[in-house]
Amino acid sequence: MRVNKYIAPFILSPIVAFSNSKGNFENVIFSTPIVPKNTTINHYSSESNKELPNLLLARKDYPTQIVRVGGNVEEFKLTCEEVNKEIDKIFINKINPDKFYYNTYIFCGFNPENHYAMNFSIHSYFDPLSNEAIDYLQQYLSEFNGHDLLGTKFYVENAKGLVAALTVNVGTKKYSNGPLILSRQDHSSFYFNNNYEMRRELISDIQARFYSNDPEQLLPFFDNWLFPHAGKFYHRILRDANYMDVQPETIFLMDDEPTLFVSNLKYYYSNDCTTNPNQHCL
């Protein structure tokens, strides 16, 4: 169940884009977190898995899993590569893309003089894709939750729910990599029980409707996710526009402090409407 709720959105900085056919993943653009100097970043994500929509099958309700763990590792005299291998053993290698939807960042700060790791942190959220994956996860947690990881306790937490804060931008670009001349920007927010539910409802609708220039397909997306009768309001704007994007910011609600967890992975869906026959969004 989704519940409309306002939370201010975050600003994204694009770094990577990839394209597939319209209605699937069309220009999903990622950003990367800003980190201190002498820090390595390992990123693991199933976001670009083209088969993901087919894997989102019906399953019982289950909370999104959160990992937000970090510690000092100077005493171990390990390189960041060796630290990452230890994390792989108890976490990364256990979360299979056939069983889970996941986004994970691993950060490792090192001493530039001797290249030994000084600290690490894991920021991750993941969801089992089936009831069988839930059973596997419960077995995994019974073995590894609370496990020692380089002097730090490795914990996986349940998220109570999440708020998806949306920003929709519509406007004109003179060329594909040029600045956006903004015609309209709107914000909305929705509550979901877990990230799995959000993907089945919101992200699936983005993929199904957002890249169409058929009014019967596209305008209901705006009605559904912005405000009542937004499609009618946007009709003229979309006819004049040649670019639009939607930015979903995911904010997880947690029992323990800090009670909000915001993933370091930011991404948004952009639609270059100049590829349409009329070179406009509608």
Mean pLDDT of the chain: 88
Backbone angles phi, psi at 248, to 5 degrees: -90, 120
Give the pLDDT of residue 259: 97
Reply yes or no on whether the pLDDT at 195 is more than 60.
Answer: yes
Give the pLDDT of residue 19: 36
Model confidence at 3, in pLDDT bands (50, 70, 90)? very low
Rounded mean pLDDT of 125-147? 96
Give the pLDDT of residue 16: 38
- Higher pLDDT pick, 11 / 262: 262
Q: Which of 38, 33, 31 is nearest to 16 (CA)?
A: 31
Model confidence at 15, in pLDDT bands (50, 70, 90)? very low
- Higher pLDDT pick, 105 / 267: 105
Angle between helix axes 215-225 and 230-240 (nearest 10 degrees) is 130
Name all domains of the chain by residue range, CATH numbers in brackets.
Answer: 3-26+161-250 (no CATH), 32-159 (3.30.70)
Report the alpha-carbon distance of residue 202 to residue 52 in Å, rounded: 14
Reply yes or no on whether the pLDDT at 152 is more than 60.
Answer: yes
Give the pLDDT of residue 177: 84
Rounded mean pLDDT of 126-135? 95
Reply yes or no on whether the pLDDT at 88 is more than 80.
Answer: yes
Cβ atoms 73, 151 nearer than 8 A: yes
- Tell me, rounded to whole angstroms, the distance of Cα 17 from its chain centroid: 14
Q: In this prediction, what percent of the chain has a pLDDT beyond 70?
A: 87
Pairing status of strand 117-128 against strand 65-72: antiparallel
Give the pLDDT of residue 51: 59
Q: In this prediction, what percent of the chain has a pLDDT beyond 90?
A: 77
Give the pLDDT of residue 254: 98
Model confidence at 35, in pLDDT bands (50, 70, 90)? confident
The letter for the amino acid at 107 is F
Report the alpha-carbon distance of residue 185 to residue 55 in Å, rounded: 32
Reply yes or no on whether the pLDDT at 82 is more than 90.
Answer: yes
Residue whose pair of structure tokens reads 């920007």 in the numeric block: 185
Cβ atoms 225, 166 nearer than 8 A: yes
Give the pLDDT of residue 55: 58
Reply yes or no on whether the pLDDT at 57 is more than 80.
Answer: no
Reply yes or no on whether the pLDDT at 263 is more than 90.
Answer: no
Report the alpha-carbon distance of residue 212 to residue 71 in Å, rounded: 47
Give the pLDDT of residue 103: 92
Report the alpha-carbon distance of residue 271 to residue 19 in Å, rounded: 10
User: How confident is the model over 172-185, as pLDDT tens digits?
Assistant: 999 888 999 999 99
Reply yes or no on whether the pLDDT at 53 is more than 60.
Answer: no
Give the pLDDT of residue 133: 95
